[in-house]
Structure 1
């Protein structure tokens, strides 16, 4: 079973990937340094280090679907700030 606390929603807007809020610092509408063409590689098992540009926190993305990215650590229920 996929741990829900390790998932985070994302959106694709004009071939750019955004998260509505950063799971670490709660910044709004963060453009993340991931490309749409990288999604199939991640879905087939390639891990991707994601550094959030707003606060420079790092997380490893281990899987993605059309709406959510899955990390190797919990992203939900973090203390903000």
Structure 2
């Protein structure tokens, strides 16, 4: 139960920090700078999704028999 509370608290903290950061960025950056900021946020989200999904363990593992399938999946992902 404490793991769930810790996880929920961490996710809420991340959400609040993201909202605050986006508000500051939207009010202080120009349109082109905000576009670059948005692309950086999307890239970091993609990397985060990739690492939390466990795919990095499958790709880095030496004993994967279906490596071709993983390579095709990672090619389509990126």
Q: Would you say same fold, with TM above 0.5?
A: no
Structure with higher strand content: 1
Compare CA radii of gyration and give the structure with the larger one: 2
Per the normalisation by structure 2, the TM-score is: 0.22
Per the normalisation by structure 1, the TM-score is: 0.22
Structure with higher helix content: 2
